[in-house]
Structure 1
Amino acid sequence: MSSTQQPPNPASPPSSSSYAAAVRPPNTMAVIRTDTAGLVAEDVKITTATGVLPAYRAAPDRPGPHPVVLVVQEIFGLHEYIRDVARRLAKLGYLAIAPDLYFRQGDATVYTDIDALRAEIVNKVPDEQVMADLDACYAWSREAGGDPARLGITGFCWGGRITWLYAAHQPRLKAAVAWYGKLTGPKNALQPRHPLDVSGQLKTPVLGLYGGEDPGIPMPQVEELRSDLKKVNSASQVLVYPGAPHAFHADYRPSYRPEAAEDGWQRMKAWFAQNGLRP
């Protein structure tokens, strides 16, 4: 089993229509494509208290229990890139579950205008609802061959912020890895807190991975987070990749930086393993 992300597979490139409309890649032949050999990979339905949650799961095609990793989508919703991340984790031995956390508000993948996407879907998603949906995924994982004693989470962009919040919410979580989610911002009834507000309430260590040239997450905010974590003697760590922009892991976008993406992936694997999520 490879210890790295799967390389591009030009023999079976994903269709551009399988990506979110707002960011469809100019060249799908260049993106990372992880096959399903040795995996169970499929769309599933997860019952929650307030609806049936669509999700994508990928896991080794062998008996478990497997450590569980919740994969939290970008602002663009559950599309091909997030599904591929789930398959990459499954190749490593994890049961990866990527839920569609916007499903009550609409389909984010069909929007072509990101401002409309924010206004009409993203800004209407309550954090409390997201925490409950992730809890439902965790509960469902037991039926799907997951090990309830080995739970992790990782998220990208919008999901990076959610990862910090979930680390302050779920006491059974063993490890978390946040990829460049915003650290603070306006607050309201639906989004009352941000990562900088919960740094002293974390129930598990978080590894935060950020780009040094990300205009949406200024370095003073990152340094404030580091300082706050140090004050409470948190085992969490924050790493900055100099010169990397926002979404440096997103191989289907121009922001992709292979070296930073691969280094972050290796650090994520090590972080999960050292915090009790070794497959």
Structure 2
Amino acid sequence: MITSVKTAAKNELEGLDGLKTEPFSRRGFVMTGLVSGFTLATTVVHGQTINTDSKGLVAGEVKIPTADGELPSYRAMPEGAGPFPIILVVEEIFGVHEYIKDICRRLAKLGYCAVAPELYARLGDLSKMTDAQVIVRDVISKAPDATVLSDLDATAKWAAASSKGDAARLGVTGFCRGGRAVWLYAAHNPQLKAAVAWYGPLGGNPTAIQPKTAADVVGDLKAPVLGLYGAADTGIPVASVEKQRDAAKAAGKTVEIVIFPDTPHGFHADYRPSYRKAQAEDGWARMLAWFKRYGVA
């Protein structure tokens, strides 16, 4: 599993707020709708996938207004008056496909308004891409962090205004590359109550449009972060995870790191061979407890 994009480019930009977004070479959104079913870019183990129904929910594809168009997204929330606490769900590199949609429905069943924006819609049609390395090279590496953060802000604003969401109870969770975005967003949005990063990459080589790693922003965190990692993750060394924990402690930030023994990257992804049921369920329970402890639930 690819966890970072290697590049020789360096930069001298400071901070995350106020960055200029690199202009896109194409007008509009390449991806105007979400992935149907599961991603084509990885092996799917259908026998173990979790399928959460939408009974009692308002669930489906929505369009979120941004400065340059409408962002295709998936929203699930309970039926009823609300207001509901908001959880931003940040995708892996494979798009908002059935696994990410199901996570939204799982959270909605627990009383949350969960929204997953398709953050790479401007850059490529992930519904048709079959090679993870090509996705990283042609899409992920070309997504400016400033745009990702702006889109998450727009999603939170939309959820509060249009989906009975409670802006005062805002949380975020994300998986793999989405876990990296969780760290960045926790350093970006002072209104965020709590964040949970599932095996989010911590290092990497900065570029002009992705100027900070998760490790770089640990001292700027504005919300408590729970990091869930696997000791057998070949792309995220345990030493780097422990370093992140120690740096957060030194900076006086509220960060809890859990490292599951003998556990690979992607252990929550129930559609992939990397899935580990016990660790996934343990991490999920810890995530819910984290959100409750810090005022999202």
Q: Which category describes the TM-score, using the shorter chain as reference length?
A: over 0.9
Superposed CA deviations along residues 15-44 of structure 1, whole A, max 9, x for unmatched, are: x96111011414x23210000011000100
Q: Which amino acid aligns with 1:48?
A: T
- CA drift at 1:118: 1.0
Tell me, yes or no, if the aligned pair for 1:154 and 1:163 is still in contact at 8 Å: yes
- CA drift at 1:188: 0.4
Tell me, yes or no, if the aligned pair for 1:59 and 1:93 is still in contact at 8 Å: yes
Picking from 166, 169, 180, the partner of 2:188 is 169
Alignment of 1:17-28 (within 5 A): 18-26=37-45, 28=46
- List gaps (5 residues or longer) in structure 2: 1-34
Tell me, yes or no, if the aligned pair for 1:39 and 1:90 is still in contact at 8 Å: yes
Structure 2 partner of 1:35 = 53
Tell me, yes or no, if the aligned pair for 2:64 and 2:72 is still in contact at 8 Å: yes
| Highest RCO, 1 vs 2 (Cα 8 Å, sep ≥ 6) | 2
TM-score normalised according to structure 1 size: 0.92
Instruction: Indicate whether 1:47 and 2:65 are aligned.
Output: yes
Structure 2 partner of 1:154 = 173
Tell me, yes or no, if the aligned pair for 2:36 and 2:97 is still in contact at 8 Å: no
Q: Which amino acid aligns with 2:283?
A: G
- CA drift at 1:109: 3.0
Q: Structure 1 runs of 4+ off > 3 angstroms?
A: none
Instruction: Indicate whether 1:256 and 2:275 are aligned.
Output: yes
Structure 2 partner of 1:220 = 239
Structure 1 partner of 2:103 = 85
Number of corresponding residues: 262
- List gaps (5 residues or longer) in structure 1: 1-15
Tell me, yes or no, if the aligned pair for 2:92 and 2:177 is still in contact at 8 Å: yes
Query: CA–CA distance in 2 between the matches of 1:61 and 1:81?
Result: 22
Picking from 257, 264, 270, the partner of 1:238 is 257
Query: CA–CA distance in 2 between the matches of 1:214 and 1:140?
Result: 35
Give the SS at the match of 1:200: helix
Structure 1 partner of 2:156 = 138
Percent identity, aligned pairs only, is: 54
Alignment of 1:41-80 (within 5 A): 41-80=59-98
Structure 2 partner of 1:10 = none
Query: CA–CA distance in 1 between the matches of 2:146 and 2:172?
Result: 17
Instruction: Indicate whether 1:114 and 2:132 are aligned.
Output: yes
Query: CA–CA distance in 1 between the matches of 2:227 and 2:125?
Result: 28
Give the SS at the match of 2:272: coil
Cα RMSD (Å): 1.1
